Amino acid sequence: MLSALFQFIKEHKIAYFIGGLLAIISGLLAIVPNYIIQLFIDAIVKQSLDAKALALYLAIFAVAAVSNYVVEASWLVILFGRSSLFTKQVRQKLFRRLAYLKLPFYENYRSGDLMTRMTSDIDSLGETLAYGFLIIISDGSWLIAILLVMFITISWELTLISIIPLIIFGVLIHFLGKEANKRYEASRDAVAKLSNEVLETVDGVRVIRAYGKKDLEQARFQERTRDVVKQSNVLNFLFGLFGPTARVFSGFSTGIGLTLGAYYVNQGQVSIGQLITFQIYLGMFNEVIWGMADLIAIYQQGQVSHRKIKEIEDADDLFGKEGDLPIDHIDQIDFQNFSFAYPSDQEPVIQTVNFSLKAGQTLGIVGKTGSGKSTLVRQLLRQYPIVKPEALKINGHSIVDYQSEQLAGLIGYVPQDHVLFSRSVRDNILFGKADATEEELNQAIEAADFTKDINHMSRGLETLIGEKGVAISGGQKQRVAIARALIRQPELLIMDDSLSAVDAKTEKAIIKNIQAAREGQTNIIITHRLSAVSHADLILVLEEGCIIERGKPDELLANKGWYYQQYLNQQTEEGSNGNT
């Protein structure tokens, strides 16, 4: 953590030099009024205070106070401004990291935990930088200045004896801070778990209501809340000990200072003005000890937050080194004895798959639920690491040799879970191509057979669809996702069971539109409805990760295997629905 903070300070050394210098000046200026008070009181006791001296003391006091205000405000603005910049950079870096990490990473981290790391943990690290530098420079310089003034202008013996309780207090706060650090991490993790519960509840609110589980979820949420309260109460109890402990030892220090100071006054070694100023200095010294104790707590909390952030920065998504081969077109895709197993599984989900897909062809993939259809095409999206890179080639080179960003730019993907954003219909479609023209937008909408739906929406393309598309139907979500993929005019279009929520008539219209719009381009269509791939150049039938049938639609029908039986079943169902 310290190396990261020092690196940032080094990059902004001029700002921190100016801020540090102003902090030191501020600490020195804060002592001037106290010394003026000492001179003022001694002058009263000696009955030597006249109007000229009084005016001088008041002028110096006022100039010092105003100057201290201006200087302190300046260095606070500088230091906390740098801290805000630091948190901004860390947050951007972490977001960029999250955007690039692949699915294996997200299988191990829940959304609520990631939100906590992106918000409170980064803020905590920023506070460590701001307050840490503030305490080290400001309180450090203040401590040295106070001790020097007390030693030189009052009494070094009185000073040493009086600050002993404050030093003991600092040691106790150190150990309290270490315990508070442990409790802080427990409290932070409890908040992260609560965030997970909230996100899952919001995502599944329709299911919760449909199954009448509101009371059960309320009970679970209350349990999480109780855990947060429990952890917070323990942490608050520890922090609550700081104040009473400070008052006790501050009282000891003040008592020693007054008792011993009175003796020194009686002996003529210290004046009344010096004794009163000495008590003010003790109060200032107490504040410094408080600051040093805070530094320990802030540092320890910062360490916890930095460790959480570092876990994301150093997370291994198992993908290894990024390829550097450029790619601007896809001529041919080859799966050669390709097998795949998820990182958490022992048995392969895809087993010894072989096929080739040339530019301009349409590939259909069908099979039972759980047969590995989606898993197979996801390999082209590089969502999981490929154990045997030579088994999957594009244009004769292993897929891992290419720059992943360039390869992703050539693929339009329509997932079966149709992820949408809490923005307008227009923004969701333009997510596929931000600089698309109005004509390209309309063509994509028309191809997705979504024009009539937009005409019925309250604000047309500007209609907000809610988080994850909650305000529109399942079929509309799929067509927005299809339009988003089509608008980028990809080299390869992958439709992963993305017509399941639309009726047969709409499906036929979309397939017809895609055929017309993407004539001569490469497509992969995963579907349960065989009518969606009746025009395909090649169809693969998967079962338990293996290809059990392959060929053109007419060839598969002639073979009278699984494809033939499924075709008959669907024809019968469509006939029944038509009669109904």
| Mean pLDDT across 480-499 | 90
Contact 258, 163 (CB under 8 A): no
Structure tokens at 137: 């420079």
Is residue 67's pLDDT more than 80? yes
User: Who wins on pLDDT, 326 or 419?
Assistant: 326
**Rounded-to-integer distance, Cα 408 and Cα 398, Å:** 15
Is residue 578's pLDDT more than 60? no
pLDDT tens digits for range 148-163: 877 887 888 888 888 8
Is residue 512's pLDDT more than 60? yes
pLDDT for residue 213: 66
pLDDT tens digits for range 382-426: 888 777 888 999 999 999 888 888 888 899 998 887 778 888 889
Is residue 78's pLDDT more than 70? yes
Is residue 576's pLDDT more than 70? no
| Mean pLDDT across 283-306 | 74
**Rounded-to-integer distance, Cα 108 and Cα 317, Å:** 10
Q: Which of 388, 322, 396, 393 is nearest to 350 (CA)?
A: 388
Q: DSSP string spanning 203-226?
A: HTHHHHHHTT-HHHHHHHHHHHHH
pLDDT tens digits for range 167-195: 887 777 777 777 776 777 777 777 777 77
Global pTM value: 0.67
| Mean pLDDT across 26-51 | 79
Contact 372, 350 (CB under 8 A): yes
Contact 499, 510 (CB under 8 A): yes
What stretch(es) of the chain map to CATH 1.20.1560.10? 2-313
**Rounded-to-integer distance, Cα 453 and Cα 476, Å:** 8
pLDDT for residue 84: 87
User: What CATH fold (topology level) applies to the domain 418-489?
Assistant: Rossmann fold (3.40.50)
pLDDT for residue 577: 57
pLDDT tens digits for range 389-400: 889 999 999 998
| Chain centre to alpha carbon of residue 450 | 34
List the strands of the sheet with 546-551, edge to edge: 411-414, 492-496, 522-526, 362-367, 538-543, 546-551
Is residue 555's pLDDT more than 80? yes
**Rounded-to-integer distance, Cα 233 and Cα 178, Å:** 17
- Residue 120 DSSP class: I
Of 1-5, 145-149, 216-220, 365-369, which has the strongest mean pLDDT? 365-369
Structure tokens at 366: 């069908």
| Mean pLDDT across 272-289 | 76
Q: Which CATH superfamily is domain 2-313 in?
A: ABC transporter type 1, transmembrane domain (1.20.1560.10)
**Rounded-to-integer distance, Cα 140 and Cα 23, Å:** 10
| Mean pLDDT across 486-502 | 87
pLDDT for residue 6: 78
Is residue 524's pLDDT more than 80? yes
- Rg (C-alpha) for the chain, rounded Å, is 36
Percent of residues, the chain, with pLDDT higher than 70: 92
Count Cα atoms within 13 angstroms, Cβ side, for 317.
21
**Rounded-to-integer distance, Cα 12 and Cα 19, Å:** 11
**Rounded-to-integer distance, Cα 132 and Cα 136, Å:** 6
User: What CATH fold (topology level) applies to the domain 325-339+346-410+492-549?
Assistant: Rossmann fold (3.40.50)
Q: Which range (115-129, 532-546, 555-569) has the least confidence?
A: 115-129
Q: Which range (137-141, 268-272, 292-296) has the least confidence?
A: 292-296
| Mean pLDDT across 360-375 | 90
What is the chain's length?
580
Q: How confident is the model at residue 468 (pLDDT cuts 50, 70, 90)?
A: low
pLDDT for residue 580: 46
Other Cβ atoms within 10 Å of 404 Cβ, number: 17
Q: How confident is the model at residue 318 (pLDDT cuts 50, 70, 90)?
A: low
| Phi/psi-derived region of residue 437, left when phi > 0, alpha when psi is between -120 and 50, beta in every other case | beta
**Rounded-to-integer distance, Cα 437 and Cα 459, Å:** 20
What stretch(es) of the chain map to CATH 3.40.50.300? 325-339+346-410+492-549, 418-489
Is residue 579's pLDDT more than 60? no
| Mean pLDDT across 12-19 | 84
pLDDT tens digits for range 117-153: 888 888 888 888 877 777 777 777 777 777 787 788 7
337: helix, strand or coil? strand
User: Who wins on pLDDT, 550 or 105?
Assistant: 550
